[in-house]
Amino acid sequence: MADFINRTGICCTVASLVLAIASSVYPAEKIVWKSIPDAILQVDARPIKTWNLFQAGKKLDPLLLQLGARSLVIYVRNQQVYEIKTEQLEHKGEDLVWHDSDKPAKPLATSDWSAKDIGSAWRVRFKLADEGRLVDIQIPQIPDLRRGIY
């Protein structure tokens, strides 16, 4: 009986090691970015000509902002902005795929964060401190008609 218990213990240990190794081999979490078509963007209170805004699935945190050839990943809750290389984004139809493990070690310097519901939109504002640019993003919200007329 003791021999059976020893074998069971060894099998459990080996299985645990195999699982640990297998989990470290798989790539980090992929984020699939979906376009937000009706968003509004202003930088320094001026509209921008070439830009796109994406959300991760149905969530509004994080956001991916493409300004021309520049790509910024915006973590609203953590109040952090990372600049990523556009080559790290993989196109899948209209969506983009990015590996969270490709996130740079240090975020860009930011200040003056504000994220709030302004009625018909959700507004995110922050300042890129090194550049002195104020980024203002407004994402339209669908009204919840269950709560009554606005």
Q: Which residue has the tokens 């080996």?
A: 14
Q: What is the pLDDT of residues 40-76, one digit of tens each?
A: 999 999 999 999 999 998 888 999 999 999 999 999 9
Structure-derived torsion over alpha carbons of residues 89, 91, 97, 98, reported in degrees to the nearest 10: -10
Q: What is the pLDDT of residues 5-51, one digit of tens each?
A: 555 555 444 444 333 433 333 445 899 999 999 999 999 999 999 99
Contact 54, 41 (CB under 8 A): no
Task: Please say whether the dihedral angle defined by the alpha carbons of residues 49, 55, 32 and 93, taken in this order, is positive or negative.
Answer: negative
